[in-house]
Amino acid sequence: MSGILPEHPMEFRELEERARHAMSPSVWSYVAGGAGDEHTQNANRAAFAHWGLVPRMLVGADRRDLSVDLFGLTLPSPLFMAPVGVLGICARDGHGDLAAARAAARTGVPLVASTLSADPLEEAAAEFGGTPGFFQLYTPTDRALAESLVHRAEKAGYAGIVVTLDTWVAGWRPRDLATSNFPQLRGHCLANYTSDPAFRALLPGGHPDDARDTALTWARIFGNPLTWDDLPWLRSLTTLPLILKGICHPDDVRRAKDYGVDGIYCSTHGGRQANGGLPALDALPAVVEAAGELPVLFDSGVRSGADIVKALALGATVVGVGRPYAYGLALGGTDGVAHVLRALLAEADLIMAVDGYPTLADLTPAALRRVCCGTGPLIDH
């Protein structure tokens, strides 16, 4: 009524375009880019257009309940912030991890904090307020360091450990290769390492004073090509819920269950790690069936509230968003992240209202129909 326009974009394409101008070219390239010719990244996005929600009327959907139980926690919504390894430098002040944690406190949307952060995990956890947070672990080859990171996360109050399985080596990323762009090798977002006594013990002299020594030491120990034989050790590190990220095959789900994991995270890393693969959304139904009673976290390609609703209908327990909130962070810090999260949830809530699905339990595969031709081309970088 007063004619005041929103400060931040209401539509993803404008959000993305404005973020491109707000970020430095190297950070933009790293966040927006994917593996190979980015076919899988685009396929992750396009997969949502192959499903349509069937409207159901006369169900009295004037009140919706989007709350969800996860690992004994009651969350106000099924949305979470997926881990982003350069979140810190997406923010203008270089403290994007803290800004995202504050947005979690403001919105009730949990953050999965990346191992690769600009501020130590303890400082991010201190900003969560009453919202739970999860710690994402890139398992290093040095077991003492892995144990130290997990125990620090436990002590800091994180609610679970998310082990990423598909990033023990960087994927083929032509955008970054063409510009020699790898932020961690330039000393960015390594605060969880430089603040860790187990990592400092690996450094020449024991101190992270030399940026080159720090980066080279990090590169040497970063990636651990885990096998099933490593799972008992990982399970033994913590009593917190253990979630495996990157699981897309039902046989892997069943085997993970045998090893006592607490949750499955179906993801193709947003198309950043491997090109030519199956869209994560297409893998989701079989993963959910194999998971049984285990919760299934999901991300890859989520850009809208409609995407969230469709992933929930295909069986995801909670749905993660990545690039959109990183773009909001670049534009407006905590306010920008909160704006993106609230917009996504508002759209999801209104779709459930209009189409007649008042609770998450009403969103089942029967609510969806395949759309044979989609809605046209979806090119999204």
Which listed residue (8, 188, 269, 339) is catalytic? 269
Query: Catalytic annotation on 269?
Result: yes
Find the DSSP H helices in the chain: 12-22, 25-32, 39-46, 87-90, 96-107, 121-125, 143-156, 174-178, 191-194, 197-200, 211-221, 231-236, 250-258, 280-291, 305-313, 323-355
Q: How many contiguous H segments (helices) and E segments (strands) does the chain have?
A: 16, 12
Any idea of the CA torsion for 55, 56, 61, 66, to the nearest 10 degrees? -60
Q: How far apart are CA 78 and CA 317, in angstroms?
A: 7
Q: How far apart are CA 127 and CA 101, in angstroms?
A: 5
Q: How far apart are CA 117 and CA 111, in angstroms?
A: 13
Q: Which residues of 177-213 are buried (b: 16+ CB within 10 A; e: fewer)?
A: eeeebbbbeeebbbbbbbbbebbbebbeeeebeeeee
* Residue 373 neighbours by CB under 8 Å, 6+ apart: none
Look-up of token digits 């974009």 = 9
The closest alpha carbon to 113, from 95, 102, 100, 94, belongs to 100
The set of catalytic residues is: 269
